[in-house]
Structure 1
Amino acid sequence: MKALNKLLFVFISGISLMYSCKQDELIPLENNTTPPGQVSSVTVESGPGNAKLSYKLPSDKDLLYVKAIYSLKNGQQMEVKSSYYNNSLLVEGFGDTDFHEIKLYAVNRSEVASDPVVVKIKPLENPIWGVFRSLNVLPDFAGLNFQATNPAKADLSIEVLRFQDGKYVGDPKNNIYTSAIDIDKSIRGLDTTSQKFAVTIRDRWLNYTDTLYTTLKPLYESLLAKNLYRAVNLPTDVGQQYTATGLAKMWDGDIINWPNVSLTSTGTLTPQWVTFDLGQSAIMSRIVIWNYPEYLNAGRTYYYGGNIKKFEIWGSDNPPGDGSYNNWTLLGTFDSAKPSGSAYGVQTAEDYAFANAGISYTFPAGNVKKVRYIRIKSISNWQGTTFMSIAELQCYGDPR
């Protein structure tokens, strides 16, 4: 009986395995070896680095999709498919404005393709060139600042190479990836000596612009150690919303977890502020702020609720005990913005990465006065009130 059961088990297992293998086998939905008709009445609408092809579909009942086959100048073979529910497709990735040959095929449910229809397209200028012409590279604190306009919101990379040992050498961590319309990005960690740099822009299809060569000297700054920071509570400063949060949570090293944040009173609807002591005097260069990401259905979300949007940073070497703004100096006025420029409550992957890395706010050059005390004044947050939810911050400056 045991032998019979064992034999039956092996037999059933074999059938299950055969069935599983058949289930994993990908075969056409039908078996029609007759090629479908060709697309017709093709029109071309040229775009920046791309072209939209519109066409009339053949009348075949088993038509599944239309595909375009073409090559980029760098030799990369491209294939784009569009469902039979559509009558157009977009071919993209072109780095020049030359004529390019596109082959259009209609494909049926048996994966049998029609004869090609050959179309010539001439794309408009790739967006990377407009970005390159607008590019301005400036010395920044411990690094370089890159400013440019990208009206097409093209996904691109600003690649930075530094001259060393007789040649220009790139470092992937210095590359800037963005699709923002108004590009204002910085790289850090560079020595404050005069150096030669080469900068180029590429898109995701590996099209490159020319190279901008420049010699710049990054500005000096030093990280101001957070173990010296101390909370200050002046008479006009706003209090915390909860006893579990606190000013000192802004320098505890935790950028994301509750309740390791400073969450000020939500009942104060006029501009409000908090004050803290750096523990040393310094000429301020910038402040990096990690806002607290709220829990929403879409995941952890920045640019929401009490994340500060419009705000001021003030500094003082000796603040008055009455909490007034006497003997305070306005260091900078800021308006936080998402790289994507999307609506409130919408957050792209680039938006998240930008905020999660800490948003850096640079103070205008020319400030030569040392300060020891910092005041953050919230004018409005992302939801339109004034309370602040700050998870972490880091100050930089010159304490020499």
Structure 2
Amino acid sequence: MMRKFSLLLSLLGLVSLGCASDENDNVPLTKDSSAPGQITNIEVVNLSGKAQIKYQLPEDPNLLYVKATYMLDSGREMEVKSSYYNKSLWIEGFAKAGERDIEITTVNRSEVESAPVTVTINPKESSLYEVFRSLEVGPDFGGVFIRAKNEKRIDLALLLMEKNDEGDWETSGNSIYTSTDSIFRTIRGLDTINYDLAFTIRDRFLNTSDTLFKTIKPIYETEIPRTQYSGYPLPGDAPTTEFPFPISRMFDNDFRNWPRIYITDAAAPAPHSFTIDLGAEVKISRIKVWDYPQGTSSGFFYYWQFNMRKFEIWGSNNPTSDGSFNSWDKLGDYEVVKPSGLPLGQQNNEDIEFAQDGFNWSIPITAPKYRYLRINNLENWGGSGRIAIAELRVYGDTR
């Protein structure tokens, strides 16, 4: 009986210790009830939609951080903290220009706050509105194009809206999320009928621009069946590499698996070109290229090595047998640009999604029909002319 009683006391002691530990989890490690001093020598730098507040910290060995509280135009309450290692903090998220009052306190290691200091900032209008003012939308082949400038590279959502059955505007699944500086996307898969659409831009603080309303009728487009394509080697075109990577690999509907890709021989001098026969004369709207993700010790990269970076597209209906470009019409100069703007060897999620979706290269709408296409690669991501392509498709009007 005594042994059972002793065991019960021991268990109660453990429970008591556990409860005491839980109660003290959120207690400051130090006890200092005196309020820290306030920040001084305040300087404000006003920018688009935000402001930087610079200051001098009080002399206090227990100081932990500086805290700012403020309210956005939407009524959302914000709190920003900055370590005592820093001498400034950022106040962000405003849409309209104008003065705002910000309360700033210092906080010590016992979570005791100083008396607040009120700082007046005067941020400029958010870059959100600059993007909206640059917004252009209109008909494209098989869809709607959206173009805008985002020079400050803010994170934004470009929302495309349609009316639901009740006649209310609602966001479609075709919205664009990006931070690139030059936005150009086409929402495809639409019929050649009139669409009543609305476009607005939202930033990460849920500020929203005005709304652009537009009725748009897409231009007819269809995919040219890949079974019609074939290689049409001409003198001067780059040979394939020693391992068999024939041009037909670009049309085999295999987007990812090695070695189901087309690669030109590295020994051939730059630039590298290749020619394909579409099987019939076609009013071409665009060419779509899927790069192969090339592996390195750091992972897989789309903007790397033999994937095309700067190139030309040419069209012809009667190419000369000597391989010269005399019988060809130049349809455009093209360049692959990473949405993120990151340097070589770096890519973010937007870069990867952009590449995985395939790169679309538009052909001028004024161009006539062509049967033969020639791509002349001037420079790949490795600095040579060599080409690696996983898949290629051609779109246009076969009527």
Match of residue 397 from structure 1 = 396
| Matches for 1:65-144 after TM superposition, within 5 Å | 65-144=65-144
- Asked whether the equivalents of residues 250 and 261 of structure 1 are also in contact (C-alpha less than 8 Å), the reply is yes
Q: Offset of 1:18 from its aligned partner?
A: 5.3
Match of residue 302 from structure 1 = 302
| Matches for 1:200-349 after TM superposition, within 5 Å | 200-325=200-325, 327-349=327-349
Q: Offset of 1:208 from its aligned partner?
A: 1.0
- Asked whether the equivalents of residues 242 and 263 of structure 1 are also in contact (C-alpha less than 8 Å), the reply is no
**How many Å separate the matches in 2 of 1:38 and 1:116?**
7
SS at match of 1:167: coil
**2:37 paired with 1:46:** no
Match of residue 58 from structure 2 = 58
Match of residue 186 from structure 2 = 186
**2:365 paired with 1:375:** no
Q: Offset of 1:388 from its aligned partner?
A: 0.9
Deviation string 1:222-270 (CA, Å, 9 cap, x unpaired) is 0222233333333332122242433222233333443222121122232
Deviates more, 1:166-175 or 1:179-188: 166-175
Q: Offset of 1:156 from its aligned partner?
A: 1.3
Match of residue 4 from structure 2 = none
Deviation string 1:30-68 (CA, Å, 9 cap, x unpaired) is 233333222222221111000101111121111111121
Match of residue 3 from structure 1 = none
TM-score (norm 2): 0.88
Flag the 1:242–1:37 CA change in 2: closer, same or farther, 3 A. farther
Flag the 1:253–1:70 CA change in 2: closer, same or farther, 3 A. farther
Tell me how many residue pairs correspond in the alignment.
389
Question: Which letter does structure 2 place at the counterpart of 1:268?
Answer: A
**How many Å separate the matches in 2 of 1:123 and 1:166?**
40
Q: Tell me, which stretches of 5 or more residues in structure 1 are unaligned?
A: 1-6
SS at match of 1:152: coil
Flag the 1:121–1:193 CA change in 2: closer, same or farther, 3 A. same
Deviation string 1:132-171 (CA, Å, 9 cap, x unpaired) is 1122222111122222222211111211123565735344
Question: Which letter does structure 1 place at the counterpart of 2:46?
Answer: S
**How many Å separate the matches in 2 of 1:376 and 1:315?**
9
Deviates more, 1:287-296 or 1:122-131: 287-296
Question: Which letter does structure 1 place at the counterpart of 2:394?
Answer: C
Deviates more, 1:43-52 or 1:389-398: 389-398
**How many Å separate the matches in 1 of 2:301 and 2:265?**
20
**How many Å separate the matches in 1 of 2:46 and 2:297?**
39
Q: Alignment RMSD, CA only?
A: 2.8
Deviation string 1:272-316 (CA, Å, 9 cap, x unpaired) is 211223344421101111222222344322222112111112233
**How many Å separate the matches in 1 of 2:172 and 2:387?**
35
Flag the 1:349–1:27 CA change in 2: closer, same or farther, 3 A. farther
- Asked whether the equivalents of residues 164 and 170 of structure 2 are also in contact (C-alpha less than 8 Å), the reply is no
Deviates more, 1:153-162 or 1:344-353: 344-353
Question: Which letter does structure 2 place at the counterpart of 1:236?
Answer: G
**How many Å separate the matches in 1 of 2:280 and 2:18?**
74
SS at match of 2:266: coil
**How many Å separate the matches in 1 of 2:215 and 2:336?**
30
Flag the 1:42–1:228 CA change in 2: closer, same or farther, 3 A. same
Q: Offset of 1:24 from its aligned partner?
A: 11
Flag the 1:101–1:252 CA change in 2: closer, same or farther, 3 A. farther
**2:164 paired with 1:157:** no
Match of residue 4 from structure 1 = none
Deviation string 1:66-116 (CA, Å, 9 cap, x unpaired) is 121111121222111111110101010101113222111211222232222
**How many Å separate the matches in 1 of 2:310 and 2:117?**
55
Q: Tell me, which stretches of 5 or more residues in structure 2 are unaligned?
A: 1-6
TM-score (norm 1): 0.88
Match of residue 387 from structure 1 = 386
Flag the 1:38–1:253 CA change in 2: closer, same or farther, 3 A. farther
